[in-house]
Structure 1
Amino acid sequence: MEVIHTDCLVIGAGLAGSAYALSAARAGLDVQLLSLGGPSEANSDWAQGGIIYDTSPEGDLLASDIAAASDGTANPAAVAQLVNEGPKAVRELLLDELDIDFDRTESGDLELTREGGHSQRRIIHARDLTGRAILSAVAARVDETTNITRQTGAIAVDLLTLSHNSELPQDRYAPLTCFGAWVLPGGGTEPVAVVARKTILATGGLGQIFQHSTNRPGTVGHGVAMAYRVGARLIDLEYVQFHPTVFHARGKPRFLVTEALRGEGAVLVNRHGERFMDQVHERGSLAPRDIVSRAIHQELAASGDPCVYLDLSELDADFARQRFPSLFERCAAYDVDPIADRVPVVPAAHYACGGVHTDLEGRTNVLHLNAIGETACTGLHGANRLASTSLLECLTGARFTAAADVADIESMEFRLPEPKSWHSPKSEADSTLIRQDLGLVRQTMWNYAGIVRSPRRLTRARRILLELREEVQSFYRHCRLSPDLVDLRNAVQTALLVVHAASLNPRSRGSHFVTTDD
């Protein structure tokens, strides 16, 4: 059995995981970084709108906007950390060190835009490919750092804990303690044990447990499911944010249409050209995402139409093409002219506001197990996330968690036993059945636990998913590991956790909307 020893095992190489790895390695720690795909293959790469860089003296306005978007449920301490520490994180890494090519005005100042829920312009951007510009630069710096080992194509299977994976019987009496994970290497069929002083979950969100999502394939809540299986506290999983504007055309791939379009003056209209959002909220098309998504859902339910539209007619055409080149390029591929035709859009699962509960230094209730980025929940977003806070949360969370881990490793003793052996079954999983079962998870979640929920729908979802989980567990026990099988196992578990959380919360707040009407 192969065993790898390291200081820090980072599971996920998006912006949160990469920024953590960089901070920890620069402090002298050895880091193993699990990367599902290439250096820039993560949800962070798909972030279009921008990142908040609010250096104005009215910082309290940002805090109030975050609180308002959360429907009054955000954790004030987490909000204060982001507001106070966020500008420093952006300035030091993205501006001073990496010199990200953010858009600038003719005078050379950073160009600021505004998105839904924001009371003023405070978001910096690199055209409509901000996430790609940031992650590619951070990933390149990670790969230049000698004490970071990137394991490309690797997927974590389960966390190692003293109570479950140590050969010493007495360890089962120890407090909940993590000491690494079983990892399936890229292209491999046999897992290896990575034993680590600190294990960091940075696996992103869970959008792909829904039929329609803005997330990359494989984003099924891996961190949430693994953390649940070892006894970590989970919180706010019912709060799944649906992005209101995702490109829709029959038979065509869907993609996120950035909220910055509405920040620059685009408006939502129905097929008759009516601005239906003006009757829903005082900010019209710039209302918070949960409100816009439900309004679109209700508009489509009433009209029977397949989509609504983004009307760009109030934008200068030349400015729009320069500011949003990716949108125009992708729309053109599907014979849509954003200016002349309007952009057809629908809502889709976008961001998990809940996740693995942590403090402001990434610590969970399981000793030496941390979570950062979208996998974690500090309470920053409460019931609904304010636009363009996610990339900023990745940077600030990574910095604070890495600093705390460096201090722990310098001062603490760690129990790092050799883990029990892994015994693989000989049977191969049926890929057709795996695809069918994953499709059932997504259909069930979209139909019964999506934008609008009810007790009856959630009960049906729970019944379907419980039966499916038994089938999947049988797969898992009797078949050799594959990435698709790991995806399915975690997707079913995460879906059940979201449904359970939604069932326990009868109150509609933010992105969790419950009705008794079926």
Structure 2
Amino acid sequence: METDRYLIDFDTKDIEKQCYDVVIIGSGIAGVYTALEIPKDYNVLILTKETIEISNSVLAQGGIAVSLDKDDSPGLHFKDTIKAGAGLCNEESVWVLVNEAAQNIETLCEYGVEFDKEGINRLSLTREGAHSKRRIIHAGDTTGKEVCDKLVSVVRTKENVKIKERTFAVDLITEGDACKGVLAYDEDTSSYILYLSKMVICATGGFSKLYSYTTNPEVATGDGAALAYRAGAELMDLEFIQFHPTVLFHPENKSFLISEAVRGEGAYLRNVNGEKFMPQYHELAELAPRDIVSRAIFNEMQKTKSSNVYLDITFKDKEYLQKRFPKIYETCLSYGIDMSKDYIPVAPAAHYCMGGIKTDIYGRTNIKGLYACGEAACNGIHGANRLASNSLLEGLVFGRKIGFEVQSVIKKGKEPLEFNDFSVKSKRVSKAINKEEVKSEIQNIMTKYVGIIRDRGGLLYAKDKINEYYNAVKDMENHGIEDFELQNIILLSKLVVESALEREESRGAHYRMDFPETNDVKWKKNIIKSKK
């Protein structure tokens, strides 16, 4: 068998097997909420490669976008999402997102999530970049953690849901064009387990760890997209990587997010000379779409030969900032920055992947039995640039739709899962490779040449270097998580570079210096990558 289908050699007769109705890979908001929305008479397994508390969702600060105000509507939310997406949004997906937002927020409140309120029952609303109305609900500046903590506490009480921590999903097991389960690696026992299932849901998050500087945790290595690709799934829009404009830039911390909500509450961006600059770049100034703000900051840093700019919210008093942004205030203060008196040093960093596993609005992929939701998926709601605070909402809305889908896909008590044992024997060989060094080099290449601003020369250089690494490891024996993650990072870097080279225009988060204009005639379409 070819070495690029499975990462290890195995014989299923020799591997422990466990059967579940549904296997969910990933324990962020998308994965856990999906598990809660699956009827209780189905047996569900959640696999997570770290503990269940570690995910990208936990780090989300700003909030969740939902049109609740009397002056707002799903139609206006739709319009803002479409505009931010720069012509590539799937309108059907966006309509589902905005129209089903409120009912999912109601469900979160029923699960015990406590959002900030004005008065007794009215949820507090703030505004973020590219939103025309105040529609972001929040829990201080740790919304993701509040939502995750409550959902995890609820899912732990469900008798039909089993959580398997420190378990790495290595590959999908397929027969023909159907997914039959997940081959996983137990980190504690260093052994493999085959989880057989009629339905596998990939909710593994994104792949911003392809870059040196990112707001994402160490787990965001794109394992779901990579294993889906090896199994024959289609990946879409990989060239669109969102760089969050304002990430703390401090010698001891270059990954802590300074929420967009800080700018939503009026903060200004200033260059190292203390000058406001955003009005020169966009009519919405600090509240322009993220891709525009990130490029503006990048340009100012180049013009002033500096490594950062500053965020200024010193016109707000200390008490207000401590109440509205407790985590940000506390973190900045720990580095000697009092945001009520001092400017906050910030710079852009990789934050979110618009692209991922191609799905429809029900999470279905081109592989029977394989579904995806959250950042791991790509159903077109974000287009070329995600609108702020639509990410947590995406995991909720489409996770719920997959939960409903389970009942029509799996008929209880009928049609037992059919699985035929098989073996994989490739020509992989042992190689002495400094994996950490290779990973760091790829992250540096991606940051320098496939970042906020790109051009053909840099992309070709990145392609050649990454292909060298790809060819070096494609037939390498893989023995643990370090090996698996390296394979996934190299594969996805290769596909991202290829997609960025192919799109010869600038659109949303993809900006080409050699093709600075948007070309709807030729490029108002999606780039899809698959092995077929």
Using the size of structure 2 for normalisation, the TM-score is 0.90
Q: What does the per-residue CA deviation read over 1:50-89, in whole Å, with 9 as the maximum and x for residues that have no partner?
A: 0112134532111110011111221110110011111101
CA deviation digits over 1:381-429, x for unaligned, max 9? 0000000001111001111012112211028846531443578999998
Q: 1:429 to 1:123 in 2, by over 3 A?
A: farther
Offset at 1:229?
0.8
Structure 1 equivalent of residue 500 of structure 2: 502
Structure 2 partner of 1:77 = 92
- Give, as a single letter, the amino acid of the residue that structure 1 aligns with 2:101: G
Is residue 29 from structure 1 mapped to residue 42 from structure 2 by the alignment?
yes
- Which segments of 5 or more consecutive residues in structure 1 lack a partner in the other structure? 164-175
Greater Cα offset, 495-504 or 246-255: 246-255
Contact residue 75 and residue 380 of structure 1 kept, 8 A: yes
Q: 1:168 matched to which residue of 2?
A: none
Equivalent-residue separation in structure 2 for 1:137 and 1:107 (angstroms) = 21
CA RMSD of the aligned region, Å?
2.0
SS in 1 for 2:194: strand
3-state SS, counterpart of residue 245 of structure 2: strand
Letter in 2 for 1:316: D
Q: CA deviation at 1:238?
A: 0.6
1:59 maps to amino acid: P
Tell me the equivalent position of 1:299.
Answer: 300
How many Å apart are 1:27 and its aligned residue?
4.0
- 1:31-70 aligned within 5 A: 31-56=44-69, 58-70=73-85
Q: Which moved more, 1:441-450 or 1:35-44?
A: 35-44
Which residue is equivalent to 2:491?
Answer: 493
Q: Which SS does the other structure have where 2:314 is aligned?
A: coil
Change (3 A) 1:425 1:506: closer
**Aligned-residue offset at 1:109:** 1.6
Tell me which residue corresponds to 1:312.
Answer: 313
Identify which range, 288-297 or 316-325, moves more after superposition.
Answer: 316-325
- Of 417, 420, 439, the residue aligned with 2:419 is 417
Q: TM-score, normalised by structure 1?
A: 0.93
Q: Deviations over 1:249-306 (max 9, x none)?
A: 1243421110000001111111222110011111111110000000001111111111
Distance in structure 1 (CA, Å) of the matches to 2:508 and 2:254: 28
Q: 1:424 to 1:496 in 2, by over 3 A?
A: closer
Secondary structure of the structure 2 residue equivalent to 1:244: strand
| Range with greater deviation from structure 2 (313-322 or 129-138) | 313-322
Gap change, CA 1:23 and 1:419, over 3 Å in 2: farther
Instruction: Give the whole-Å Cα distance in 2 for the aligned partners of 1:486 and 1:508.
Output: 33
SS of alignment partner, residue 65 of structure 1 = helix
Is 1:18–2:16 an aligned residue pair? no
Would you say the 8 A contact 1:222–1:487 is kept in 2? yes
Aligned residue number for residue 351 of structure 1: 352
Identity of aligned residues (%): 37
The one-letter code matched in structure 2 to 1:90 is I
* CA distance in structure 2 between the partners assigned to 1:12 and 1:298 by the alignment: 37
Alignment of structure 1 residues 440-459 onto 2, 5 Å:
440-459=441-460
CA contact (8 A) 1:246 1:256 kept: yes
Residue ranges of structure 2 left out of the alignment (5+ in a row): 1-14, 517-532
> How many Å separate the matches in 1 of 2:252 and 2:28?
29
1:352-501 correspondence to structure 2 within 5 Å: 352-410=353-411, 413=415, 416-421=418-423, 433-475=434-476, 477=477, 479-480=478-479, 482-501=480-499
The residue number in structure 2 matching 1:167 is: none
Instruction: Please state whether the residue corresponding to 1:191 is helix, strand or coil.
Output: strand
Aligned AA (2:335): Y
Structure 2 contact 314–342 (Cα < 8 Å) conserved: no
Q: Distance in 2 between matches of 1:458 and 1:445?
A: 9
The one-letter code sitting in structure 1 at the alignment partner of 2:486 is L
- The residue correspondences of 1:77-116 to structure 2 (distance < 5 A) are 77-91=92-106, 93-95=107-109, 97-116=110-129
Query: Aligned ranges for residues 228-247 of structure 1 at < 5 Å?
Result: 228-247=229-248
Matched, 1:6 2:8: no
Q: Tell me the alpha carbon deviations over residues 5-47 of structure 1, each in whole angstroms, 9 at most, x when there is no partner.
A: 11111110100011111112x3411111002222221000000
Q: In the alignment, what sits opposite 1:334?
A: 335
CA change 1:414–1:86 in 2 (3 A) is farther
Contact between 1:196 and 1:416, CA under 8 Å: does it hold in 2? Answer: no
Contact 2:56 2:216 in 1 (8 A): yes
DSSP 3-state at the match of 2:351: strand
Cα distance change of structure 1 residues 514 and 190 upon mapping to structure 2, 3 Å threshold: same
Count of paired positions: 499
Q: Distance in 2 between matches of 1:184 and 1:429?
A: 21
Q: Matched residue of 2:118: which SS?
A: coil
> Amino acid of the residue matched to residue 36 of structure 1?
K
> What is the identity, as a one-letter code, of the residue corresponding to 2:460?
T
Pairs within 5 Å for 1:102-251: 102-163=115-176, 176-251=177-252
Question: In the aligned structure 1, how far is the partner of 2:155 from the partner of 2:121?
Answer: 29
SS class of match (1:4): strand
Q: Would the alpha carbon gap of residues 107 and 8 (structure 1) be closer, same or farther in structure 2, given more than 3 Å must change?
A: closer
Take 1:77 and 1:294, find their aligned partners in 2: how far apart are those partners? 30
Deviation, structure 1 residue 368: 0.6
Separation (CA, whole Å) in 2 of partners of 1:426 and 1:233: 25
Q: Work out the CA distance in 2 between the residues paired with 1:320 and 1:69.
A: 28
